[in-house]
Structure 1
């Protein structure tokens, strides 16, 4: 074998080996590229899923927040309407006709009188504008006297030193009791649900 033949064989072997290494390199590069593309696709899918989940979560939070805000606004509006209704009722109590006011005041004094012993000196307080009315009613009661004014819508506060009892039968206290007992019904009628 001549030196040229050996060189040619080595060259051919080197070319074949180089071709084989290049082919292996290309195959390996394709595998790496394919794996990278798969990883990238998987990463993109995970990111899209995560973004969709975060968007849904944010949407739910905002929706829940908006519902709560709307509910609070409705409740505030209802409170305002109930406050307006109460103010109207109070205004009507202040403006009661004299005959109706006298009947109610007499009924409230009678109810309070049940708490006192016969012979007690009873002091009766009422609205300043009702002084003459109360004094005229008290003329029918022994031991009862008008004792001064109270800041109220009407009615009376009745007390006795001997019995150590005080009865608040003002329109305000009666209204408060009726209002509390019937608030749900009042609300239901105003805001039929």
Structure 2
């Protein structure tokens, strides 16, 4: 064998080996590229799924916020209506006709005086507009009108002897009735 033949055989073998390496590298590159494309697709799908989850979460939060805001507005409107009703009741009490005012003032006076011993001197107070009415009502009782209080009517009675103070103003009665009946008033107004 000649040197040229050996060189040519070595070259052919080197070319074949180079071709084998190139084909192997191409196959490996294609495999790496396929894996990279698969990974890229998986990452894209994960990102899309995450974006969808985020959109759903934001939609839920927005919906919840809107529902809460609507509920707060509804409650605010109900509070306003209830306050209007309360104000209307106060106005009606303030404008009671004379006979009815006398009857109710006498009832609150009697209830107040019942809290004291018969021998105690009791001072009673009422609103400025009802002082004369109260003076007339205490004329035959063990009490004297001792001033005015800021109220819708009724009486406040107190005694230095027993240090007792009884608040039977129309305001306090209204507060008690309002607190006791608020649920019923609300149900009636709003058909719950």
TM surpasses 0.5: yes
CA distance in 2, matches of 1:38, 1:173: 78
Give the TM-score taking structure 1 as reference length.
0.92
Aligned residue for 2:11? 11
Alpha-carbon distance, 1:2 to partner: 2.4
**Matches for 1:164-183 after TM superposition, within 5 Å:** 164-183=163-182
Quote the offset at 1:95 in angstroms: 0.3
Quote the residue 1:185 is aligned against: 184
User: Residue 167 of structure 1: SS of its match in structure 2?
Assistant: strand
Note the C-alpha offset of 1:150.
0.6
Structure 2 residue runs of 5 or longer lacking an equivalent are none
What is the alpha-carbon root mean square deviation over aligned residues? 1.5
Structure 1 residue aligned with 2:157: 158
SS in 1 for 2:118: coil
Q: Give SS of 2:133's match.
A: helix
In the alignment, the residues of structure 2 paired with residue 91 and residue 64 of structure 1 have an alpha-carbon distance, to the nearest angstrom, of 40
How far apart, CA to CA, are the structure 2 residues paired with 1:85 and 1:147?
33
CA deviation string 1:114-139 (max 9, x = no partner): 11222322211101011121112222
Gaps of 5+ in 1: none
Structure 1 stretches of at least 4 aligned residues deviating more than 3 Å after TM superposition:
none
Aligned residue pairs, count:
192
Moved more, 158-167 or 78-87: 158-167
Is 1:35 the counterpart of 2:39? The answer is: no
Structure 1 equivalent of residue 118 of structure 2:
118
Aligned residue number for residue 92 of structure 1: 92
- Offset at residue 176 of structure 1 (A): 0.6
Partners of 2:13 and 2:113 lie apart in 1 by 129
TM (norm. structure 2) is 0.93
Residue 14 of structure 1 deviates from its aligned partner by: 2.2
